[in-house]
Structure 1
Amino acid sequence: MITITEFQKIGVGITGFGIFFVLFGILLYFDSVLLAFGNILFLAGLAIIIGLRRTFTFFFQRPKLKGTSFFLGGILVVLFRWPVIGMILETYGFVTLFNFSNIMLKMDLQYENTERTELPSANMDIIFNFLWTLPDKHRIYDHTRQKHL
């Protein structure tokens, strides 16, 4: 069981508000103020959850510099009030930063190897390990696989 401190709970709340403001800014036709506020809250919440040093080392690893530059550049473009271009850059940077194609491939391989209980290492191990502990995971995963086939 993962223990979360009170300080990290505050970080989760700040990150949640950041995601809310980003989604609300997109809903209101790319309102640049809401998007910028959401981006700042998201990054601040992330830094509170995992710490400043870990946040810095996560974003500025050599293989992740391309994704980091697009993500942070997109935030900067949103701050300069070009929200559509900024969100496109942020989305590309986010996908590049977390490398979702490798994660889905590893999860697919894990699903086919049901005798293993651990998930292979990836950028988002914590989320997938949590999802792997859910009781109806195979039914949910089968449903999503059938949609894509």
Structure 2
Amino acid sequence: MLPAITDFQKIGVGLAGFGFVFLFLGVVLLFDKGLLAIGNILFLAGLAFLIGLDRTFRFFFQTHKWRGTAFFLGGIFIVLCGWPMIGMIVECYGFFLLFGGFIPVAINFLMRIPVLGTLLSLPGVSIVVNKLGGGSTSNV
């Protein structure tokens, strides 16, 4: 049986969700630095609430993840300094260095969702999905 979700984790999901919404709006609205800054802060706060402050610190500052952390936090700093497009490029690179190991798991999960799995199995899309997923993914 799974442990119950705490109130802090619920708050963390909400903060991270709002962070993604603000980041999306910041990119859509031609890299608005205010929205991107708020989105970054909300995402980091949501992550800290979701998994805990100590585990968040340990995740970002593992020795094999220093480069990803440097790019991710450096990108946030560049956005806060006023260069949103360059900062988001640097931040996205750091994000993929940090969370790249989760991409195959996320793709396999998305392949099991009824409508989305069908869309991801289309001929042109499945080639990209299989490369990102790290091998052959099947919709069985």
TM interval, short-chain normalised = 0.7 to 0.9
Q: Give how far 1:96 is off.
A: 0.9
Segments of structure 2 that go 5 or more residues without pairing to the other structure are: 131-140
Moved over 6 A (4+): none
What percent of counterpart residues are identical? Answer: 52
Corresponding residue for 1:145? 126
Compare 131-140 and 19-28 and name the one that shifted more.
131-140
Deviations 1:65-114 (A, max 9, x none): 000000000000000011011001000000111225x853xxxxxxxxxx
Distance change >3 Å, CA 138–CA 39, structure 1 → 2? closer
- The structural deviation recorded for 1:133 is 9.9
With structure 2 as the length reference, what TM-score do the two structures score?
0.77
2:18 and 2:67 mapped to 1: Cα distance? Answer: 27
Give me the TM-score of the superposition, normalised by structure 1.
Answer: 0.72
Residue of structure 2 in register with 1:77 after alignment: 78
Partner in structure 1 of residue 50 of structure 2 = 49
Q: Distance in 2 between matches of 1:128 and 1:4?
A: 24
Cα-Cα RMSD: 2.7
- Looking at structure 2, the residues matched to 135 and 59 of structure 1 have their Cα atoms a distance apart, in angstroms, of 30
Preserved CA contact (<8 Å) 2:111 2:117 = no
Q: How many residues align?
A: 126
2:136 is aligned to none
Matched position secondary structure for 1:99: helix
* 2:92 is equivalent to residue 91 of structure 1: yes
1:98 & 1:89 partners in 2: Cα distance? Answer: 14
1:142 is displaced (CA, Å) by: 3.4
Assess if the C-alpha contact under 8 Å between 2:111 and 2:120 holds in 1. Answer: no
**Residues 53 and 147 (structure 1 numbering): CA distance in 2 closer, same or farther, change over 3 Å?**
closer
Q: Partners in 2 of 1:148 and 1:33 — Cα distance? A: 33
Question: Which residues of structure 1 form unaligned runs of 5+?
Answer: 105-124
